[in-house]
Amino acid sequence: MPLTKIETVGDYTRLALWEMTEKVEELPVPCHVDLTAFRSESRLKEKLITYAILKELTALNHLVITHEPSGKPVIDGFEIGISHTHGWVAVILSTKRPVAVDIEYRSQRVTRIADRFIRFDEDKSNAEIQLINWCVKETVYKFLPEENLHFFDMRLQKFILSNAGEITVDDLKFPKNIKVKYEITPDYVLTWAL
């Protein structure tokens, strides 16, 4: 079971990360999960790992994830954020406050579409900064689903790149600032808000 991280990231808020190395047959199946509802094995694996993470975070077996029309995941009694990328699942869970998370594997693919999500007044000097921009904006979008933000409705304030830190994002649609934490590893970029 490659649960690689469980970390308290705020009051009543924990973040967990799982590296997906198991086969589907090796994962526990909650009784309420319909295995036939998944068209691909990778989606089924992501779902089963998400439930395994929930059990690790809460010690509860009965939790059921539903989704709002916006796609936001919902669990009774908790605020939750879920993200997956090639080989990884991230879950942030809080009993008190809204949360959001995004994880993306490291690659050059965002470079091809950088002009679609990076504003003219934001840094896009290299692929790493572009990937951080993508992840941070995805996190803010998930954090504020009712605002229906588009990429250009968000502006990252200038920041100094490091392996971990915090970025302030300007919400230009409904003027306010959102703080997003980030972590960069050789495998992925992870961002979260609370």
Arithmetic mean of pLDDT, 35-56? 91
The string of pLDDT tens digits covering residues 139-159 is: 999 999 999 999 999 999 999
Residues 65, 148, single domain; the answer is no
Are residues 85 and 121 both part of a single domain?
no
Q: How does pLDDT run across 104-144, given as a tens digit for each residue?
A: 999 999 999 999 999 999 999 999 999 999 999 999 999 99
CATH number, position 30: 3.90.470.20
Q: Are strands 188-193 and 176-184 parallel, antiparallel or unpaired?
A: antiparallel
Domain co-membership, 93 together with 113? no
Instruction: Please identify, among 97, 119, 149, the residue that sits at the C-terminal boundary of a domain.
Output: 97
Whole-number Å distance between alpha carbons of 182 and 193: 9
Mean pLDDT of the chain: 95
The rounded distance, in Å, linking the Cα atoms of 134 and 113 is 10
In terms of Cβ atoms closer than 10 Å to its own Cβ (0-12, 13-18, 19+), residue 84 is buried
Q: Which pLDDT value is given to residue 83?
A: 98
Residues 54 and 112 in one domain: no
Would the pLDDT of 1 be above 70? no
Tell me how many domains the chain contains.
2
Q: Which domain holds residue 65?
A: 3-97
Q: How many CB atoms lie within 10 A of CB 117?
A: 18
The one-letter code for the residue type at 46 is: E
